[in-house]
Structure 1
């Protein structure tokens, strides 16, 4: 395959929100691979990753700052990114997810954490661990997972001798989401922004306190960590059944359980009853023409809601409100408006406030591997490079993905903001709510 230097293009506003060091984040996919002695063939995986880099101009690009609020994608000045192979171990995954992508460098990193026979590969389990990190300016959860799947498809084809080199890669980066949306009149967008303001201005909203702020860090623990709740196959199936019986989606129940967990930690203050919920919503299937999941571009809009969560909130009723409000916003076309009105929305920080940010990636099959290898677990979450404990309080982030019939909820967070006790209490509460519904 011939690799052509990407054509530079400016970042759109919705892409630029991920660029500053203060907010810059990356989407990370983690795969646990178990199998026969020898594990993953690193030469084949390196070749599969090189194929992915060749197919996507975004992965051969870097970001250059051209002005105070101007950035552009430019060709990489150094060599193309290659697969990195490192020893695994109990702390290997934590070290990897705490390693930022280099400023001005490649927008992707692929790492294979080797597990020796009988030892962990990086995620605390036997086997190898593959970690794919992609800059959020060029991806979202759906396209990061699609990239991971395509990489493993190439690996399987290389292993069984059926691999066919793709056609020569192009040089144009995909157009941003805002360029793919049908425009709205400016007066329509202004009315939308005004309605968003009326929803939050003057509202006292509850947030989890940053209980770790001001504490002296002990030891060499990671700055960024990921807590996790994972249901069994049986619990997940019962939860799906409970959602159907209650006339609500699983997403609605999960968001309700998360809101209830936050409310429980805030105590009984009346001012903390109202919580802000933000949900990224993938627009790929709603575009005309639809956008394939393998196109590396952030294609999610954001739905903001404010909900009253009393002490004795019923998760089914609360979940219905979550889903009904989201469905109404989609029918009104508000998800497109949120992206197109970004210049106005971003001028008012109060419009971006949320007590909870929930990314739901749905149910995803794992990539198929050659005989003798199996991906036994797959995770996906976003992590930033910086934290702001000085803010005193902030949102809880959650990423939801069902793999092998097991619903999992990831809680990426800064240990400078949230304490282990806060995350443990949140996980225990969410698990209790969801398993209670599934009983």
Structure 2
């Protein structure tokens, strides 16, 4: 789907322009073992960027929203970077390396270990032009192209540029169903009123707040990680089916309860916790938007729940999961996600519209890359990151990025070390794991095979 324009630039819509200030990015990584033809991988990356003008662009001033996507010159366009080094250090470096405004909106890096058999491929994409589904599809498309090339494909085909796509994809805001402006204005008014009526509590940082006498220590992004086994994932899915909720509902409840233990309250008064869930728009457009189209196609849903100071005496965890699941489902059925995208440009004026205690994403079950026989993936990760963190704020939402690669549910908890320490987030992760496994305590082992491919909401 494109707007039919093959010009050198395309204006960002107001919703897309919001991401420019956030400076968020998707960091996909794939640990590999075996033989890699770096020339073929470079050609594969070039071929995929040739197919997407957004991957060959930069953010520049201009347009009604204040920003445009402008094509890079041939010399400026991103190329595969290769080097040798420690893979753990390489991952940390790439997770923390930004994509500055004005530069390329994607970066691909291959780092090989000293022995040459172990590798790390990292793909970083600016959130202005991607979401979780399209970034995963982009990653897998690069490896599809690589597999074809090493199997006898034409490595020189990319250099001709004859098949290069120059038509920009349309912003998702232009693909939404019609909505009356008065209805949208009323929806915004109601959302602002609800946000003001129920003030959401945030998780305090465990790292001391910086002062004039003691400035913040230089921090960096890390990610604590929770990975369930195939059997544990199958049991969790079985529990969700029997309870009539989604796995996303179970994970959201587990994360909310972990946050509830860390949000201070006054006396015996319950605390109001907010759970923000991204909502995939691709499958809800008519016609559906393929995951291969490189645009941000996501809205959000924010709901609040009350948690008592003693979470052990609080509502049953499964009841909380059902509440979170049902509210999200009802909001989607009502079409709230359409209005949420329409009011997104108002967030800078009304930041409480997305102020939440936790942010719980959901990519569902997705396939890993398909590789040639002499190469295998030993791990795949998707971690969101951004450029700006604010230790001086003293508290913030906790992010949980949920995705099941090859049938194993994983939850990533990215954090900035000048805000949340590694030990704090490690304990948070462990509480979420305990909460998830508690759901499956009475579940019987799954007898059917766990699916290892396909995408969709879990």
- Write the distance in 1 (CA, Å) between the matches of 2:338 and 2:244: 27
State whether residues 263 and 272 of structure 1, in contact with CA within 8 Å, keep that contact through their aligned partners in structure 2.
no
CA 1:342/1:214 → structure 2, altered by over 3 Å: closer, same or farther?
closer
1:196-235 matched pairs, under 5 angstroms: 196-214=191-209, 223-235=220-232
TM-score, with length taken from structure 2: 0.87
1:18-417 matched pairs, under 5 angstroms: 18-20=19-21, 23-35=22-34, 39-66=35-62, 70-77=66-73, 78-89=75-86, 90-117=88-115, 127-162=118-153, 165=157, 168-214=163-209, 223-267=220-264, 269=266, 270=268, 273-310=271-308, 311=311, 312-417=314-419
CA 1:211/1:284 → structure 2, altered by over 3 Å: closer, same or farther?
same
Alignment-derived partner of residue 448 in structure 2: none
Offset of residue 5 of structure 1? 7.8
Offset of residue 161 of structure 1? 1.2
Q: Which segment is superposed worse, 378-387 or 266-275?
A: 266-275
- 1:212-237, Cα deviation, whole Å (9 max, x unpaired): 243679998x6111111111111111
Offset of residue 157 of structure 1? 0.4
- Write the distance in 2 (CA, Å) between the matches of 1:116 and 1:207: 44
Alignment-derived partner of residue 121 in structure 1: none
* Secondary structure of 1:161's aligned partner: coil
TM-score, with length taken from structure 1: 0.91
* Secondary structure of 2:62's aligned partner: strand
- The answer to whether 1:433 aligns with 2:435 is yes
State whether residues 223 and 415 of structure 2, in contact with CA within 8 Å, keep that contact through their aligned partners in structure 1.
yes
- Write the distance in 1 (CA, Å) between the matches of 2:15 and 2:270: 30
Query: Please, which runs of 5 or more residues in structure 1 have no aligned partner?
Result: 119-125
Offset of residue 138 of structure 1? 0.4
Aligned Cα root-mean-square deviation (Å): 2.2
State whether residues 216 and 418 of structure 2, in contact with CA within 8 Å, keep that contact through their aligned partners in structure 1.
no
State whether residues 378 and 403 of structure 1, in contact with CA within 8 Å, keep that contact through their aligned partners in structure 2.
yes
- Write the distance in 1 (CA, Å) between the matches of 2:133 and 2:7: 23
Offset of residue 86 of structure 1? 1.9
Offset of residue 346 of structure 1? 4.1
Offset of residue 273 of structure 1? 2.1
Query: Please, which runs of 5 or more residues in structure 2 have no aligned partner?
Result: 442-458
- Write the distance in 1 (CA, Å) between the matches of 2:363 and 2:434: 22
State whether residues 205 and 271 of structure 1, in contact with CA within 8 Å, keep that contact through their aligned partners in structure 2.
no
Offset of residue 404 of structure 1? 2.5
